[in-house]
């Protein structure tokens, strides 16, 4: 069995950016044999939220390569040049392309590494391979759509599975009911219910706001409730000084801080990334609700300070028991569909790496995103998008992706320079 220098789990923006950084090293004469494994059958970036009229919340300059290498052929500007839209984009006078266009940019970059990505395979576990008492390689086991298992060996691993849907406890018993779904599946899941007349959207962030506006424009007969615990929809703070927390060099400040200081930073700037739609989007929602008042309508409701206490299903819909956190009063509501715009969890890496727990412990990482391990464990394992607690709020965003992958790439090159024992048995 071939031993790859590197296997990457997932082929979203983070690992595409890593493939680009490795390609730059290859051009400089430093080659690493890298293979990426992606569960989707083809590249797609949040396909469930590719809605019309939605745009990026981050500048196109924070693409897959520019902040590390402004001359990269994988920049968003070069993508526009190759697509013959550069001058037209300039005329838009914006730093924020549509989400559809940025998805096309990512797909364009991913397509240039088709020979280095195995699509349609889900990695199910990572196992140790030994040379004497030393773990000298990793066996990465994946399953394809037909259920066939395939093993690959790797000297190093980069884990970048992305976030998994965060489902509130009240809705976990309803996981098999198609009428309740996470916002990550919104576009296709909602299409299954063209006759739905009452829809609840749970959440107060960008996704919840975008879905609320999308639903209100679908049909004049559709009733939509936006349920939220907060008193108001708060805008993201994208002012210049606050935005400095997303600069790549700020990662050093976060990582060097004590755990208490890091926790304080995360709390202080939480609303720069979570539960904070764009101000323009909030204004659009306010305008829609105001115009409804002018016309005397009631089909759109903003139910602020409401907590879902229980959820159940019957043939006629989804029944929610709500508590008004201001008054303490309870109420019951029936909906045809409930959309959970409740964010994401970042715990998949722990499940994948569970067989390596004797060496990796709690998966704490060093400054270069490498999981700490003893000298008897030779492979380097890197995490992308799972280090917010140690590296800051930018870790799950595109802001530091280009720079981070350059740092990981440098660490991989350095690790490869060390003499490498062979696994005792390869079969």
Spell out the domain ranges in the chain. Answer: 3-163+346-416, 166-235+274-340
Token pair 């000297």 is at which residue? Answer: 155
Q: Quick one: pLDDT at residue 232?
A: 93
Sign of CA dihedral 171, 173, 178, 183: positive
Output the CA torsion sign for 159, 164, 166, 171.
negative
* pLDDT of amino acid 31: 85
Q: Which residue has the tokens 């290859």?
A: 26
**Sign of the dihedral defined by the CA atoms of residues 102, 104, 107, 108, in that order:** negative
**What DSSP designation does 114 have?**
G
Looking at the domain that runs over 3-163+346-416, which CATH code has it been given?
3.50.50.60
The pLDDT of residue 296 is 95
Task: Tell me what pLDDT residue 418 has.
Answer: 76
The tally of CA atoms less than 13 A away on the side-chain side of residue 110 is: 24
Please check whether the two domains, 3-163+346-416 and 166-235+274-340, share a CATH topology.
yes
Torsion region of 33: left, alpha or beta (phi above 0 gives left; psi -120 to 50 gives alpha): beta
Fold of 166-235+274-340: FAD/NAD(P)-binding domain (3.50.50)
Predicted local confidence at residue 144, as pLDDT: 96
Q: Quick one: pLDDT at residue 38?
A: 98
Instruction: Give the whole-angstrom CA distance, residue 357 versus residue 355.
Output: 6
Give me the pLDDT at residue 74, please.
98
SS3 190: helix
Distance CA 353, CA 360 (A): 8
Nearest residue to 150 via CA among 183, 113, 184, 125: 125
Distance CA(47)–CA(100), nearest Å, equals: 9
What's the confidence (pLDDT) of residue 40? 96
User: Cα(122)–Cα(144) distance, rounded to whole angstroms?
Assistant: 6
For position 427, what pLDDT does the model report?
A: 45
Q: How do beta strands 317-324 and 306-314 pair?
A: antiparallel
Burial of 187 (0-12, 13-18, 19+ CB in 10 A): middle
Name residue, tokens 């749970």. 202
**pLDDT of the residue at 28:** 79
pLDDT at 383: 98
List the chain residues with pLDDT less than 50.
426-427
- Across the chain, mean pLDDT equals 95
Strands 198-202 and 180-182: unpaired
Q: Which two tokens stand for residue 382?
A: 């890197």
Residue 63: strand, helix, or coil: coil
């Amino acid at each position: 069995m071939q031993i790859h220098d590197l296997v990457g789990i997932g082929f979203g923006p983070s690992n595409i950016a890593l493939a680009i950084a490795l390609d730059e090293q290859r051009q400089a004469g430093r080659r690493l044999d890298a293979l990426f494994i992606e569960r989707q059958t083809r590249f797609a970036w949040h396909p469930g939220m590719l809605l019309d009229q939605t745009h990026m919340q981050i500048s196109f300059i924070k693409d897959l390569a520019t902040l590390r290498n402004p001359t990269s052929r994988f920049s968003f500007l070069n993508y526009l040049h190759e697509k013959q839209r550069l001058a037209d984009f300039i005329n838009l006078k914006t730093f924020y392309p549509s989400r559809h266009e940025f998805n096309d940019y990512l797909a364009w970059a991913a397509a240039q590494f088709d020979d280095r990505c195995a699509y349609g395979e889900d990695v199910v576990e990572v196992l140790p391979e030994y040379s004497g008492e030393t773990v000298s390689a990793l066996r990465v086991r994946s399953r394809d759509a037909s259920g066939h298992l395939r093993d690959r060996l790797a000297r190093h691993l980069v884990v970048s599975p992305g976030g998994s849907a965060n489902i509130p406890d009240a809705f976990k018993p309803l996981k098999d009911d198609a009428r309740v779904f996470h916002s990550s599946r919104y576009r296709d899941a909602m299409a299954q219910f063209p006759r739905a007349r009452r829809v609840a959207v749970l959440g107060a962030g960008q996704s919840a706001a975008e879905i609320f506006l999308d639903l209100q424009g679908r049909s004049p007969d559709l009733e939509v409730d936006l349920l939220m615990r907060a008193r108001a929809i708060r805008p993201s703070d994208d002012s210049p000084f606050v935005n400095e927390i997303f600069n790549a060099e700020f990662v050093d400040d976060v990582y060097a801080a004590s755990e208490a200081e890091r926790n304080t930073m995360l709390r202080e700037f939480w609303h720069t990334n979570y539960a904070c739609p764009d101000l323009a989007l909030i204004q659009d929602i306010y305008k829609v609700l105001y115009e409804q008042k002018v016309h005397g309508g009631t089909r759109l409701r903003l139910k602020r300070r409401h907590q879902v206490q229980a959820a159940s299903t019957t043939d006629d819909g989804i029944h929610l028991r709500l508590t008004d956190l201001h008054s303490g009063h309870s109420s019951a509501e029936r909906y045809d569909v409930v959309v959970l715009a409740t964010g994401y969890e970042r715990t998949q890496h722990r499940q994948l790496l569970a067989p390596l727990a004797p060496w990796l412990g709690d998966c704490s990482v060093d400054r270069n995103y490498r999981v700490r391990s003893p000298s008897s464990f030779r492979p380097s394992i890197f995490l992308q998008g799972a280090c917010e607690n140690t590296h800051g709020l930018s870790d799950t965003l595109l802001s530091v992706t280009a720079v981070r992958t350059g740092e990981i790439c440098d660490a991989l090159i350095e690790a490869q320079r060390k003499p490498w024992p062979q696994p005792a048995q390869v079969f």
